Homo-oligomer: A and B are copies of this chain.
Amino acid sequence: MDILIENAAIITMKNHKIIKDGAIVIEDTEIIDIGKTTEIKHKYPTGYLRINAKNKVVIPGFINTHQHAAMSLLRGYADDLPLHQWLEKWIWPLEKHMCGEDIYVGALLTAVESIMSGITTVNTMYHYTENGNEAQAFAQIGLRGVIGHVCFSWRKKEDKKTLEQLARNWHNKKDGLIRVSVDPHSPYTVDPEYMKELRELTKELNDKYGSKEAPIIWHIHVAETQDEKEKIESAFNVRFQGGIFEYLDSLGVLGRDVVAAHCVSLTSKDIQVMKEKDVKVSHNPVSNLKLASGISPLPEILKKGVTVAFGTDSPCSNNNTDMFFLIKTASLLHKGVFKNPTLLPAEQVLKMATIEGAKALSWNLHIGSLEPGKKADLAIINFRKPHLCPLYNEVSHLVYAAGPSDVDTVIINGKIIMENRRLLAIDVFKLMERVERTKENLLARLSESAS
């Protein structure tokens, strides 16, 4: 069914344009027209499902550029611990028991939660398995996503086979809703040789399954903690000058298709390299604070003109997928830490959560802003709430006052995915019961293995 949304305030994220009393016309998967309701209305008098968005604000759906969707199963399993203890005593031992079914169920939960908070595209890095995976979950719910398979030196052969399967089965599938990525875990878990091999493999996979419009991209953790250099040097018995990006550049693996998550511990030269190679940053302030990894020198990165988008990171280091929390936190954190209240103003962080996110995923030809010719990926947000009252400025409220529950309706690829907070493709209560059962089974396997 084609759709006409009317009477909305539309934040287009193109040329700072905000249309009051605006309308958007959607045919099939695309936006075909946008403008003042009074002008649009008579051009399309019949044949559209009309959504009255009075007192509502329409934005391009948020784009979450760093997630491990399956890990919602571990939300709140352990917190407030020293990093090593958290990983080695809690997270890894439980994760070891996760099977394909668990990955699929965890990703379903994250997909649902994402949509309920206005996120329409998720870039996720996890283990891909044929018998249960994140792509399957996203496609079922109707969430747009880039599905990665995370690669480690210790399983090269297996990884390469898996990447081939992932790309063949899922790249640019489901009406173009699902794309895939190659995900070297990090510079300290992927040795220099393997890093280069993965670069080569990405080219091959792109030749077979990708295109210029829909490339298979890279997704990697970089410079998350202060000790990453020592970790690389000791893991692979190498020595290098400068920062982590300088090291990666020396391997010849950087490029405009690389989404680098975290980027906390950087040299000035690193930032220059990022700019030169057009590497995309996924900034994850909530996770970085929670794990005490440090604070990214974001103002400096932005000043250099590097593309920066936002990532929630996994629901076990955040512990939700709330993009509203994230954009407010990012805006506030850098103001406070760098003692400048003009840093990261509201419009800039909203851009970073939408159009810059699309650029980060090399998907900006199709998503990230509301304009004719782009895919219809959007969130309709209800502003008739006490905490969004009175109204001086929609963008200010979106960043500093709104929350996930204000998202009313979500459309992805021209299809209504959530309507008045009701998901159309899944029974959310049944899903939550299934998640609880899945978690119980997972804990049972852990305790069996320990006994």
Contact = CB atoms under 8 A, between A and B. Distances in A.
Interface stretch (A41-49, A243-251, A316-324): A316-324
Given A76-B392, A341-B81, A387-B320, A336 B294 contact: yes
A341 B72 CA distance: 20
B405 A403 contact: yes
A427 to B, nearest CB: 12
The winner among A319, A331, A336 for most chain B CB atoms within 10 A is: A336
Interface in A238-276: none
Interface in A60-81: 72-73, 75-77, 79-81
B337 A432 contact: no
A257 B428 CA distance: 49
Given A291-B335, A320-B401, A329-B329, 17 more contacts: A76-B391, A79-B345, A79-B346, A80-B346, A82-B342, A112-B386, A113-B387, A289-B336, A290-B341, A292-B335, A315-B401, A325-B325, A329-B332, A384-B432, A386-B431, A386-B432, A389-B436
Contacts of A295: 336-337
Nearest to A398: B76
B392 A77 contact: yes
The winner among A335, A340, A428 for most chain B CB atoms within 10 A is: A335
Contacts of A404: 387, 403, 405
Interface of A: 72-73, 75-77, 79-83, 86, 109, 112-113, 116-117, 286, 288-295, 315, 318-322, 325, 328-329, 331-333, 335-343, 345-346, 384, 386-387, 389-393, 396-397, 400-401, 403-405, 428-429, 431-432, 435-436, 438-439
Contacts of A321: 387
9 contacts: A81-B342, A292-B338, A292-B340, A292-B343, A320-B387, A320-B401, A389-B432, A389-B435, A391-B436
Closest 7 CB pairs of A and B: A289-B336, A405-B405, A80-B345, A76-B396, A289-B332, A390-B439, A292-B341
What copy number does this chain have within its complex? 2
Contacts of A391: 76, 436
Contact of A387 (B294, B322, B400): B322
Contacts of A341: 80-83, 86, 290-292
Contacts of A343: 292
A335 B397 CA distance: 27
Contacts of A386: 109, 112-113, 116, 428, 431-432
A439 to B, nearest CB: 4
A441 to B, nearest CB: 11
Contacts of A79: 345-346, 393, 396, 400
Contacts of A397: 75-76, 319
Contacts of A113: 386-387
Contacts of A384: 429, 432
Contacts of A332: 286, 289-290, 329
